Structure 1
Amino acid sequence: MMTASARTVILYFLIMLGLRLMGKRQIGELEPSELVLTMMISDLATVPMQDFGIPLLAGVIPILTLLALSMLLSQLSLYNLRFRELVCGKPAVLIRNGQLQQETMRKNRYTLDELLEELRTQGFSGIADVKYAVLENSGQLSVLPWTRQQPPTAAQMGLDLEDDVTLPVILINDGRVLHKNLKICGKDDTWLRKTLKREGLSSPQDAFLLTLDEQGQVFCVKKESAP
């Protein structure tokens, strides 16, 4: 039992390390080479977890080999455009200037029903509303509408608006003080205690969330008592 648990834990962290090396992508955003790598790693990991007669290294070594190969291919893709196109492919324009590119759709085996469904999910009722639609390497469809179909911006309307978009920094997460973020904001524990007191809280454990934005605005959510 202990052997099974230990093998499972080792393989779990090894796979997690591999996924971290692949970057922050969702499954639907993986390129073909990354998707193949993910599937092969999962298959290799299940074999030594289920069959104790197989040495653990029989699963670990192939996984490490695949990860090393993936890193090598990534580095080659950075320096060689042709190799990148070969491994990752290139985006395909399915709609150009409002016209369907039927030959491109056939090459990518992308049906009309799939195209219309994707357009509807992005808020477009028909092809006439779209100037460009690009099928990305990840399989996602990027849709660029005509200018007349885009909502007007403040610049187009001649409005001189103050840019008030800020990025809040989390200082307390579920009662835990993030001292690193507190230091980044140029604040200390004394400022934090005063802020909590103004919010009616006696300690950081009473706060579920506390953020500070670039304009000095504090947002606080009190922690609810457990039922």
Structure 2
Amino acid sequence: MQDWMHIVFRAISTIAILFLMTRILGKKQISQLTFFEYITGITLGEVAGFMSTDVEANYMHGFIALFLWFAVPLLLEMLTLKSKRLRDWFEGKGTVFIKEGKILEDNLKKERYTADELLEQLRAKNVFNVADVEFAMLEPSGEVSVLLKKENQPLTAKHLGIKTAPERESQAVIIDGNIMDEPLATAGLSREWLLTELEKIGVTPENVFIGQVDVYGGLHVDLYDDMLLVPDDVSKPLLFATLKKCEADLSLYALAVKNEGAKHVYESCAEQMNRILEQAEPLLKR
């Protein structure tokens, strides 16, 4: 066999083996690496490279080395799942850099971090003032996790006492002009519903680059032609306005009627409509 054909065979077989091993080792190998995973990744790549190009070396010897560098990390990963002590040994522990708003200089020195590097990591988290930080920790992956002080944290609906509707992922029902049946079924919708909604806004599926349906049945589309304007969906605001008008009318009738029995009925209906509005507002005013 000619050398170039030998290298092609070795390279293709090594890529297949390396891909299979990486799939078995899991997604941690391509995420933020621990010390041991970093060493494993480099060595697997080096061994695979030598196996592909060194035609004079015994291929099986390289395969045995590659298999060992795959099997040992896999075994250790299974053991660390069951042992906190082994996890701390092989993956390391987090190091606190800032606690109760104060920088722990000794911990910075322990991890050989300078003040400039700490500030750089904080800026990466959109924190430009150390005084805003309550707690910060260097994770085993090398990332710095940051907790802002209470007064510097962004406001949320919970802070304001606003009720929000439950949130789930949107379903991409059209991609590259093609209707996706599985996401449609997941959303509990049909092709007929989708085509009807597209007809309302005057577009065909072929003109849609991406179309998504949110959890409340709202269809949002991005067209290939960016010059075309898609009309906004006004059905939810219109429904909310209609319900609000019903509540106002019931309250007005309760004030205008003289019969006490009828007044009580109108007041009761107005209260029920008000409760319905409170429940529906997070769904309709989005």
Give the TM-score normalised by the residue count of structure 1: 0.83
Take 1:196 and 1:7, find their aligned partners in 2: how far apart are those partners? 52
Would the aligned equivalents of 1:22 and 1:34 in 2 still touch at CA under 8 Å? no
Q: State the Cα deviation string for residues 52-82 of structure 1 (Å, max 9, x = none).
A: 2334433333223222222211111111111
Pick which of 83-92 and 62-71 moved more. 62-71
Q: Secondary structure at the match of 2:27?
A: coil
1:65–1:176 distance in 2 versus 1, CA, 3 Å? farther
1:15–1:96 distance in 2 versus 1, CA, 3 Å? same
Structure 2 unpaired stretches of 5+: 226-286
Q: Which residue of 2 aligns with 1:185?
A: 187
Query: Offset of 1:116 from its aligned partner?
Result: 1.3
Query: Offset of 1:190 from its aligned partner?
Result: 4.1
1:18–1:175 distance in 2 versus 1, CA, 3 Å? farther
Structure 1 unpaired stretches of 5+: none
How much is the aligned-residue C-alpha RMSD, in angstroms? 2.7
Q: Which residue of 2 aligns with 1:84?
A: 87
* 1:1-227 map, 5 Å: 1-25=4-28, 29-157=32-160, 159-163=161-165, 165-198=167-200, 200-202=202-204, 205-223=206-224
**1:79 is matched by which residue type in structure 2?**
K
Take 2:162 and 2:27, find their aligned partners in 1: how far apart are those partners? 37
1:181–1:88 distance in 2 versus 1, CA, 3 Å? same
Take 2:201 and 2:95, find their aligned partners in 1: how far apart are those partners? 53
**1:58 is matched by which residue type in structure 2?**
H
Take 1:3 and 1:189, find their aligned partners in 2: how far apart are those partners? 53
Q: Identity over the aligned pairs, expressed in percent?
A: 29
Give the TM-score normalised by the residue count of structure 2: 0.68
Higher helix share: 2
1:210–1:156 distance in 2 versus 1, CA, 3 Å? closer
